[in-house]
Chain A
């Protein structure tokens, strides 16, 4: 059964770069059926779609974050990754990886990233 797991530092300093890796297990990230999405949720707030990537490297980004976001894929490792630069406290959130088959139908458990000095 396919699973996703987020990994990365739980604490990032303001103005630095947030890096997060999503590892896919139990299936191939190179499936032509899916995009792979990143979604975040600030504490006590709603869901915000960050972006998505296809195994070929094709990406879609949220324009509200586009100038700061890069999503990449490493098919050899069955992983996709998020880099968000110049972070502020407003980027503190639970970050989720998800398989996107029309909609995000399978989610990782999420990882809390706190931006603080």
Chain B
């Protein structure tokens, strides 16, 4: 299985800040990388696929980059609704695997 490692595991930031979350794959996955946002008690929401393509309806404040083994999710101008847990997922091969999550908290 491909192991996905996210860092940091938790992050404190203020409204208006820009933050970056990193995801590393245990082997090369080209750009077969997705990002999800999850709020407490809710199902995850798909934000980005193919490392940098936004899902329909996702605001442009979210951006992704990377290829191979190293990927980033950047969120610009944080608003209160952006504070949540973020997961990466590889879909290069089965089984699909997720990172352990990054909990973005309000400072």
Q: CB distance A103 to B34 under 8 Å?
A: yes
Interface of chain A: mostly helix, strand, loop or mixed: strand
Interface of chain B: mostly helix, strand, loop or mixed: loop
Taken residue by residue from 102 to 114, chain A's Cβ proximity to chain B (1 for < 8 Å, 0 otherwise) reads as: 1111111110000
Q: Which residues of A contact B96 (CB under 8 A)?
A: 37, 49, 52
Q: CB distance A62 to B43 under 8 Å?
A: no
One of B46, B49, B94, B98 near A47 (C-beta < 8 A): B98
Q: CB distance B91 to A102 under 8 Å?
A: yes
**A103 with B43: in contact, given A46-B98, A60-B94, A63-B95 (CB under 8 Å)?**
no
Q: Give chain A's interface residue range (CB within 8 Å of chain B).
A: 20 to 34
User: From residue A106, how far is it (CB to closest CB) to chain B in Å?
Assistant: 8
**B interface with A by C-beta (< 8 Å):** 1, 34, 36, 42-46, 49-50, 55, 87, 89, 91, 94-101
**A interface with B by C-beta (< 8 Å):** 37, 46-49, 51-52, 60-64, 96, 102-110
